Amino acid sequence: MLKIQIIPEQCIACGICAALFPNNFDYTDDGIVRLVQTSANELLVEGPPNLPESQKKCPTHAIRISSYKSQ
C-alpha cells in the first residue's frame, strides 16, 4: 500500500505526474495537481509499483509517496 500526499501550493502544473499516471493524478481548473480518486490531498492506494516515479520526476516536490502498512 502506498500513501500519496500532494502539496498543491508547490505545484507548477508541469504535467509530468498526470502524463505518467493519469489514473492517479489530474489537474484542477486552476492548473493545480489533484488526486483523481478524492478531493483530499492525501490518499492510500494499491497503486502500480512504479508510482513513486512521479515523486522523483516532480520538479517542485509537490508529490510525496511513501509505503504505508496498516496496523
* The pLDDT of residue 64 is above 90: yes
**pLDDT at residue 3, rounded to an integer:** 92
Query: How many structural domains comprise the chain?
Result: 1
Higher pLDDT, 68 or 41: 41
- Average pLDDT over the chain reads 89
Q: Which residue range is the domain that position 57 belongs to?
A: 2-67
Residue 9 DSSP label = G
**pLDDT at residue 71, rounded to an integer:** 63
Query: pTM score, two decimals?
Result: 0.83
Mean pLDDT of 44-70: 89
For residue 26, report the phi and psi dihedrals to the nearest 5 degrees.
-150, -170
CATH number at residue 39: 3.30.70.20
- Burial of residue 49 (CB within 10 Å: 0-12, 13-18, 19+) is exposed
